[in-house]
Chain A
Amino acid sequence: MGVGIQVEHLNAWYGANHTLMDITLHIPANEATALIGPSGCGKSTFVRCINRMHETNPIARVTGTVRIGELDIYADVSPVEVRRRIGMVFQRPNPFPTMSIYDNVASGLRLNGFRNRRVLDEVVERSLIQAALWDEVKDDLKKKSGASLSGGQQQRLCIARALAVDPEVLLMDEPASALDPIATGAIEDLIHSLKGRFTIVIVTHNMQQAARVADMTAFFSISKGGEGERWGELVEYTTTETIFTNPADKRTEDYVTGRFG
């Protein structure tokens, strides 16, 4: 089962760029939360702060606290431990091209020392079923490489790879933006079937997608200061229905109705 995420006063920088300004956001457990907003508003940076991937860039910096369940991820543990509990799916499918489908899914477990064949077989099958890919690949699990699949299948393979380590949270950074509409539909159905068991945070630039899959939606925007500085901030965070039908902030309304962005 998933856990909730408490983000308090999160600030993030890329070099001198203040990418995220003072974000406070409570993400509920076992629901899907969408992050929407124009390009450059920091929504991707925000999810990358939740599993401490942001800091893998040498010029990046983060302050504030992020709690995954009871765990303060910037104070209590190392980034490696954080990422073991949090799965991530990226914008472009990035399966390991030199590994078979099976090895791709098993990679997270193998990395953490699992060697038992029976356990691995079981987890690989379960994860591929959860990712709605099992029926398409079950006959050539060990014959085909991860890169031989279509784009949509590759992305579901990456989801299976993330699910295999039984994460408490699943982060998805525009998981369907490189896919065609049919593959996108498959990913959205998948998100529907996964919430309830995992806490899902999904970044998307597609508002209809947010409306279709998310229970809660956060709208991020870019604010500009006097001397040309700009930063990303959280404008509004509420239920998806409210964001799209009755937003409190004018900027949200402009964005969701297509007048901006």
Chain B
Amino acid sequence: MAFNLEEVRPSRPSLPPTAEADAPAQSAIRAYLLSRGNSAVSDAAFRWLMLLSGLSIFAIIGIIAGELIAGSRLTLAKFGLHFFFGTAWDPVSGHYGALPFIYGTLVSSLIALIIAVPLSIGLAIFLTEMCPKPLRGPLSFLTELLAAIPSVVYGLWAIFVLAPILRDHVNPVLIHLLGWTGLFAKPNFGIGMLAAGVILAIMILPIISSLTREVMISVPRSQREAVLALGATRWEMIRMGVLRNARIGIVGAIILGLGRALGETMAVTMVIGNRPDIVKNLLSPAYSMASVLANEFTEAADSTYLSALVEIGLALFIITILVNALARLLVWAVTRGAPARAS
């Protein structure tokens, strides 16, 4: 009973001969296909349409940048680069320096990231790897609901709920424990840089966590099994088999969250304190670029003032681009040589 293919091969039924009845139908299909031509026109039209969509991005960016530069001609000519490094903002006496706003935007966004990144990655890990099934749906729904709340509502909540909590319960502890760093000191109003950072953290949490969850889910099961088979614990499996493969997507999620934090206007305006100072103390009032635009645009009586505000818009535009470029550079440096995603 050794292998003898000829003997053991089961007899297979041969294919039925082409039925005569099918012939007319088949030739109709063939005739139709032949009559379609080479589709060169529709293909070219499609290509041009897509090219146009791609190029429109350049046009939009170009128009925005052009408008911002044109609108800030006056102050650009008058102060030059000093505008971006000046610390005094006094429209009455004609002093315009944007540094306090740049500082406020960057620091409040940084606080937001420091709070939101670990929290949202933790939430994403819990949702994808550990959450009991019945809880998974409601929890992701609630997380995504956070993203749908209008920012003015966040602002109101921050004024009436968050700021008093910070003032009465959190800030005293921070002053007591970390006062020596100089980052937390009296006077303790509740509103200020820290409050802005915390409300921003809550606002960007849903973006970062839901995108992180998506990339974690897309890591193939074979990667998790590869790590488990090596004798990994659950946490080691998540670290080596999931987070490592998802890291580029996670950085992308963080960049998107940061983008929202940098540009957020309403909620920040309501709790940051709106004082153009650069101080180390995170509990004192500060100001951000988007906030000063929202607050002072209607008050800009003379053309220099208006030009200064538009130039702050330009600065925000440039800083957003710079921060994004830097983040991408970071991703590139970390993952150099390694392919972007799991196979």
Contacts and interface: CB of A to CB of B under 8 A. Distances in A.
B222 A80 contact: no
Given A83-B229, A100-B337, 14 more contacts: A80-B233, A83-B231, A83-B232, A88-B229, A94-B220, A95-B226, A96-B244, A97-B339, A98-B245, A98-B342, A100-B338, A162-B229, A244-B3, A245-B2
Given A94-B223, A98-B245, A245-B1, A107 B339 contact: no
B247 interface: yes
Contacts of B245: 96-98
A229 to B, nearest CB: 26
A92 B222 CA distance: 8
Nearest to B248: A98
A246 B1 contact: yes
A42 B120 CA distance: 40
A197 interface: no
A51 interface: yes
Interface stretch (A4-12, A67-75, A142-150): A142-150
Interface stretch (A114-122, A129-137, A215-223, A253-261): A253-261
Nearest to A82: B231
A53 B229 contact: yes
B296 interface: no
A56 B237 CA distance: 12
B36 interface: no
A158 interface: yes
Dominant secondary structure at the B interface: loop
Interface residues of B, number: 31
Interface string A153-172: 00000100110010000000
A96 B225 contact: no
A-B complex: 6 closest residue pairs judged by Cβ atoms: A84-B231, A88-B229, A94-B222, A108-B230, A83-B231, A94-B226
A111 B230 CA distance: 8
Interface string B155-198: 00000000000000000000000000000000000000000000
A90 interface: yes
B8 interface: yes
Interface residues of A, number: 42
A59 B244 CA distance: 27
Interface in B249-291: none
B225 A56 contact: yes
A147 B339 contact: yes
B10 interface: yes
Contacts of A259: 8, 10
B331 interface: no
Interface of B: 1-3, 8-10, 220, 222-223, 225-233, 236, 240-241, 244-245, 247, 335, 337-339, 341-343
A37 interface: no
A97 B342 CA distance: 6
Which residue of B1, B226, B228 has the most chain A CB atoms within 10 A of its CB atom? B226
Interface of A: 51, 53, 56, 80-88, 90, 92, 94-100, 107-108, 111-112, 143-145, 147-148, 158, 161-162, 165, 244-247, 253, 257-259
11 contacts: A83-B230, A86-B229, A87-B229, A88-B229, A94-B226, A97-B342, A100-B337, A244-B1, A257-B3, A257-B8, A259-B8
A148 B232 contact: no
A30 B155 CA distance: 69
Contacts, number: 100
A259 B189 CA distance: 85
A143 B226 contact: no
Contact of B225 (A53, A99, A100, A143): A53
A81 B231 contact: yes
A33 B2 CA distance: 20
B231 A98 contact: no
B217 to A, nearest CB: 16
A206 to B, nearest CB: 13
Given A51-B229, A81-B231, A245-B2, A107 B240 contact: yes
Nearest to A161: B230
B244 A98 contact: yes
B308 to A, nearest CB: 47
Given A53-B225, A94-B222, A145 B339 contact: yes
A84 B233 CA distance: 10
Contacts of B342: 97-98
A31 B64 CA distance: 71
Nearest to B246: A98
Contacts of A148: 339
Nearest to A110: B240
A145 B341 CA distance: 12
Contacts of B231: 80-85, 108, 111-112, 165
A83 B222 CA distance: 16
Contacts of A147: 339, 343
A207 to B, nearest CB: 9
Contacts of A80: 231-233
Nearest to B241: A96
Contacts of B225: 53, 56, 90, 94
Contacts of B232: 80, 83, 111
Nearest to B222: A94
A81 B227 CA distance: 13
B2 A98 contact: no
Contacts of A82: 231
Nearest to A81: B231
